[in-house]
Amino acid sequence: NVIMGTREDFIDSGVNLLTSAVSLADPVAGLVGTALSPIIASGAKSILPNSLSKREDMRVEEVFRQVVQKIISKLNEGKIPRSDDMYYANEMDIPNAQEIFEGVLLKAREEHQAKKLRLYSDFFANLCFDETINLEHAHFLLTLIERLTYRQFVILAYLSDGKCIATNRWDALFKVANTSELIRYYDFYSEYVDLYNIRLITQTNKMPGFALGMSETKISEMGIKISTLLELNTITQEEIKKIQAYFDAIAEIMARM
């Protein structure tokens, strides 16, 4: 068990490490850290009640630990935490940053895909250093992380280098083809269409149209932003190759139709 003693001991230990790292950083970072450290402590203590199941407990602890480690790592790299009023302002006596952190831990607590836990921690840690993301945008992105499958994030990682996918026949064939060969990839097709519908994937200018089935597609600017924020470049090559295999298999089937 990662907890030595009580849950509060576990939280305080992590926050003390963060506070120490902040105190060694730039004086500006030190001032910001005096706000960030108690926010993280308060957020964690509000989401780790005794009523949590063991599995929920482990998820929350894991994300908390990863957030602290990631922030410390960024401080050691010389990065300065955001200092804007939006992030530290009080709303009903709860700082915005704490509100978001509590949301991260709540969603992580219910997350059944273990691989997505890192995405929650990277999201919040990077948010602490990015003033371009306001409160409303942060809540929107957090909801998006919860909503998407881990494979959809791997798809974004696969596309993040600018690849264009020849999806111009996808809609027509998946809607009319009844072959078991193509149906086995219907879940992958559906996940891709979902990314298109929420504008994380967009059409290229090569074959313009108004639907996925009329165009080549690629990652959108929003998709790139999310890919950077969640550090999807750390997804393993083994997982990336699986996505390539899906695209290759669908292309091969369609070439015979």
What are the helix and strand counts (H, E) for the chain?
A: 13, 4
**Digit-coded pLDDT (tens) for 78-115:** 888 888 877 777 656 778 888 898 999 999 998 999 99
d(C-alpha 63, C-alpha 70), whole Å: 10
Which pTM value belongs to this model? Answer: 0.82
Percent pLDDT > 90 in the chain is 45
**Digit-coded pLDDT (tens) for 178-194:** 678 888 999 999 999 99
Q: Is the pLDDT of residue 56 over 60?
A: yes
d(C-alpha 94, C-alpha 138), whole Å: 16
d(C-alpha 183, C-alpha 65), whole Å: 41
Q: Is the pLDDT of residue 29 over 50?
A: no
d(C-alpha 73, C-alpha 172), whole Å: 48
Backbone angles phi, psi at 116, to 5 degrees: -80, -15
> 158 Cβ partners below 8 Å, 6+ apart?
240, 243, 244
